[in-house]
Every structure is written in C-alpha cells, then in structure tokens.
Structure 1
C-alpha cells in the first residue's frame, strides 16, 4: 500500500500535507492561494476522489507553521517552485497533474514552465501565466485591480491593518461581519478559516511576503512557455483578475490548451467545486470534448 504523506521537507523547512483519496490513484497536486490554506480545496477533493484520483494538498511556504522563514527573499518564485518540486520528488510517482488557484496558480504555471518533467497536465484557476498577467496590466483594467499589491509592499502596516479590520469584523456584531464578508465575497466558513488559520494562526505576515518578493523575482523565470496540456479557468465575477489576462494566457502554452469560464467570484474552488473538479478530471484524462 502506498504510504501517505503528512509532511515533506525542503530548504530545511517542514511542510504540512493532506494526502487523501485512493492510495493507488493518480496524484493530483493542488496549490492554494492567498489568504488561504490547503483547506480551500476541501470542497473539490471529494469529487476528485470519486473519480479515482489521489489528492496531495500542501500548506505552502509561510502557511505551514514549520515553513515560515523570515524576509521576503525566501518567498521568491524560484523558492516556491522548489517547494513544489520537492513535494513531487517526495511522492516519487513521476509527473503529476498540477492544479493551482490564485497565487497557487502562479506557482503552478512557473513549475510547469521551468520544471516540465514534473508536470503531466496543468489546470490553473483565476491567475494566468505570469507574462499574460503582466501584459494585461497595461492593456486592461488589471492595473487598477492590482493596486492592493502595491499597498502590500509597505512593511508591517498591511498585516497590522488587516488583522485589526478582520478581528473588528468578527467581534463587531452580525451586520459588521456581514459587510466584511460581502466586501471580500466570502461565506461564513471561508471567513472563519481566514481568522483561524491566517490571522490567529500567525501566517499573515509570511503570506504577505509572497507579494513583497515580486520585485526581486528573476524576470527570466516567468518568460518560459508551458508545454504541458493546460486548462485555464476564469470566473465572470472575479474582482481581482481581468478577462484580458485569461485571454492572453493562450499565448504562453505550446501544448493543448483550453480556457473555461465559470459564473463565480474569485473563490472558484469553494463556489464551483463540482464544476472545477470536472474540468480538472477532463484535463487529466485528455478529454478535449468535455
């Protein structure tokens, strides 16, 4: 019987992993985004298990308590890709079906582009290839949608303000909580996880370092195209990612490529888990007609 993973190590760091589904199933590695943890995939994985897939879902760098190095340099894209590569090597199962949402999608794109031997197929959710994202900033509303990324570059202040705002929303009564949830398009479960895992769990300062490392990420790492069969999923009510970026993503894939559009906000894995799982399975099986 295949041994289950509960942790893996890289760069002297220890990462928590949720390894579920059929032990002999083909592995699907799912990468979460900001400000979330592996729990963001909890509504998707049962559908993948039912289709016969084994799911490997790590808490990434800055989110796993044992993998929280200080300083933004530790969160550059090459380090994040290195973590995924170490996870796949630990699995020892050959190339995997790689899935990412939000920042997890950015890491998945970079992994598929720069470590192609590790990736059988790619399904990206919300965030497109890095160069498609950059090009959309100057050719659409993406620049306006991404202003918060510039704000996150300020040391200390963003985590302080976000922590105070979220805790005030949690304790300020039902109406204040409801307004905060509506502004972020979160449901009760997502909001509670954000408070518990990110704010109270101490991950927020480290998670913000992903943004702060953007300025020191080597541009070359985002230029390579992806050869793996790829599906990119965009959602019609995404407040953070413009449609233009999704349309540009096709230019950075040399293998089979599809774009899928779902009716959802940015939080596709929680809002459309069954539909997203079906798209992941279709890509993994090479079904170009579903």
Structure 2
C-alpha cells in the first residue's frame, strides 16, 4: 500500500504528494511523467526511505488529487510551469537542496531546475538525458520514423484530439503505455494503478497545452516567459548527473551515440538499459535506485 497522501499549498497548486522516510533525512524528489503517476516509484521510494532519505513523490499539475489554487491560474503544461511547480514545492516544504529523479515531464522539470538553479540540486537522475525542450527550433521537421512516433502529439494539436483524449483518456493512455514499453510484461498489470490519476479535472487541458506549447501552437503563461527565454538558450547542466535511457523506448529509443553529452558540464554518465522502455523507474527500479545511490553516496 502506498503511504497516505499529504498536501502542501504553493502559489498555484494544492500539491498532493506521498512522503516516505524521516523528515530529517536528506531530501529526494521523484517526479513522474505523462501518462504516469507516483506509482512508477513504488519499488524505489521505500528503498530510499529505508536508507534514511526523506522521499517526496508528488502528483504533477493535472494529475491525481493535485489541484490549482484559483480558476485564473493558467492550466499550462509548458516546461517552465513544471519547473516552477518543482521550485514552489521545495520552498513550501523548506527544502533548500535536493536530489532529483525524473523522466518524461518529471525529467523535464528536474533538468530545467538543475540547469537554471543548480545550487538547489544536489544531483540528478534523468530519464533520456537532456530534457529541456528547444522550442524555437521545434517547427523543423524530423526524420519520418521519429515523426511517426510523435503521432499522439500531432493528434493533440487538433480539436479531434482534444475530444479523443477527453472521451478515451484511459484507453488512449494505456495504448501509449503499450507502444512506449513494448517489452514490459508487467505493464498491463501495473497500468490500472496509475490510470485513476488521469481523472483529474484539469488533466486534458494541461496535457493539450503541453503538446501545443512545445511546438509554438499555444502561448505560454506570461509570468513564465522569462524562464522560457532562458531555456531557449539551452543552458548546460553542471550538477552530477546520470542519464538512464531505455533501449526499447517506443517513443524515443536510445541512440548509439550520446547526442546529449554536450549539454552536461559536470560529472556525467549515460547508462543504456537493455529491455527497458519509456517508463524507466517502473520498468527498471533497481537500475534507477542504483543510479540515485551512486550519486548520493559517491
């Protein structure tokens, strides 16, 4: 059984999170992606807490019991919003410096904070390397195979996609699980544990905005424009980092050559995980735990 959900209020969110371990322990925040939930860390959070770490596993904006504080807060899914949520969460919990682990949307938030506010990040485990979006160049076509893998993003650019996600969110997200983790035998059993998180009333709006903003098809939150401008410069990450890449990732399989290495200026290592798809911590909890402990104890 997961721990009881706790709440903390930030300027924009009532953040729901799961807490493991002593409050006096060195803090670790574990961040899920789309379309996933804190259940991705069920085998990792208890193992860290047993070693004395304070582990926080939040529901991102638009997921689970997390709610916006006001109707006028933009239901943005842009990378700057996810990063600001992470910083606000750390402030609300009085966490000055933290170890971060994230993949997909959560990895993006972690990479952005590590790049722009490195003094607050002890170390970073990132799924699939440098997750900061290069939005000014996003309109350039990619090779056809990659474009094919991004079909769902283009679907979300249309009114039909909005209605499809609204009506079929659980079936659509389950399909993405299957396509992105094609060799993961436990996916069908694990999916029902995360699916309720997608029933959040803001899920569709946040998801649609995320995939439109990254292609410059939707404006961002004006209050976060300064951060997006900083990210457009593709800032380097200097904190100690391990990148975990799934060799069988159906949306972005690991390339033979590390194309992200130039974005990391500190201690950095890339580990390609054989037989692992996109949902890295849930498919490969021991490899994820080892990466975190290698950084925390190294």
Q: Does the alignment reach a TM-score above 0.5?
A: yes
Deviates more, 1:275-284 or 1:87-96: 87-96
How many Å separate the matches in 2 of 1:130 and 1:141? 22
User: 2:62, 2:201 within 8 Å by CA — same for their partners in 1?
Assistant: no
Once the two structures are superposed, the pairs formed by residues 186-265 of structure 1 within 5 Å of their partners are 187-198=187-198, 200-208=199-207, 209-214=209-214, 215=216, 216=219, 218=228, 220-222=230-232, 223-244=234-255, 247-263=258-274, 264-265=276-277
User: 1:238, 1:265 within 8 Å by CA — same for their partners in 2?
Assistant: yes
Name the residue aligned to 2:223. none
User: 1:141, 1:242 within 8 Å by CA — same for their partners in 2?
Assistant: no
How many Å separate the matches in 1 of 2:13 and 2:263? 32
Question: Which ranges in structure 2 are unaligned for 5 or more consecutive residues?
Answer: 221-227
How many Å separate the matches in 2 of 1:259 and 1:203? 35
Higher relative helix content: 1
Q: CA shift at 1:184, angstroms?
A: 5.4
User: 1:21, 1:52 within 8 Å by CA — same for their partners in 2?
Assistant: yes
How many Å separate the matches in 2 of 1:128 and 1:8? 29
Question: Which ranges in structure 1 are unaligned for 5 or more consecutive residues?
Answer: 170-176
Q: CA shift at 1:45, angstroms?
A: 1.0
How many Å separate the matches in 2 of 1:246 and 1:132? 20
Cα deviation 1:72-115 (Å, max 9, x = unaligned): 76333222211111111223232100111111111111111111
How many Å separate the matches in 2 of 1:255 and 1:29? 21
How many Å separate the matches in 2 of 1:29 and 1:75? 19
Q: CA shift at 1:207, angstroms?
A: 4.0
Q: Number of matched residues? A: 274
How many Å separate the matches in 2 of 1:138 and 1:49? 42
How many Å separate the matches in 1 of 2:164 and 2:83? 30
Q: CA shift at 1:219, angstroms?
A: 5.0
RMSD value, Cα? 3.3
How many Å separate the matches in 2 of 1:277 and 1:251? 25
TM-score of the aligned structures, taking structure 2 as reference length: 0.78
